[in-house]
């Protein structure tokens, strides 16, 4: 999965996903649970002509670190689900 970072400041992290957007809703939902998240969401200008852009703004801390933490949490959730299904 290719990612283009559009903006990376202490409080904001914006990136564009090339081609695949399936991870964006679970990532948004995971981030919105965190108390330090001010805004998390994604948008696509045109589904056939552009790529989705994910926006994250935090009240405190590092936006990028929080995004990476949320992705790790999603990976753990998926691993747990896979283990449960294989049992």
Residue 11 confidence (pLDDT) above 80: yes
- Is residue 24 within 8 A of residue 54, CB to CB? The reply is yes
24: tokens are 């964006």
In eight-state DSSP terms, residue 23 is T
Kind and range of the H or E element at 81?
A: helix 63-86
Instruction: State the residue for tokens 């948008």.
Output: 43
pTM summary value? 0.88
Q: How much is the pLDDT for 49? A: 87
Which residues lie across from 82 on neighbouring strands? none
pLDDT in tens, 21-72: 889 999 999 999 999 999 999 999 988 888 999 999 999 999 999 999 999 9
CATH numbers and ranges of domains, the chain:
2-86 (3.30.1360.10)
Residue 55 pLDDT: 98
8 A C-beta contact, residue 54 and residue 42: yes
Kindly tell me if the per-residue pLDDT of 85 is higher than 90: yes
């Amino acid at each position: 999965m290719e990612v283009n970072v559009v903006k990376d400041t202490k409080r904001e992290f914006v990136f564009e996903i090339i081609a695949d957007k399936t991870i964006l809703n679970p990532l948004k939902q995971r981030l919105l649970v965190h108390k330090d998240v001010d805004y998390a969401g994604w948008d696509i200008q045109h589904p056939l002509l552009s790529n989705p852009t994910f926006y994250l703004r935090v009240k405190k801390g590092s936006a990028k670190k929080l995004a990476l933490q949320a992705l790790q949490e999603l990976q753990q959730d998926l691993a747990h689900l896979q283990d449960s299904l294989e049992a």
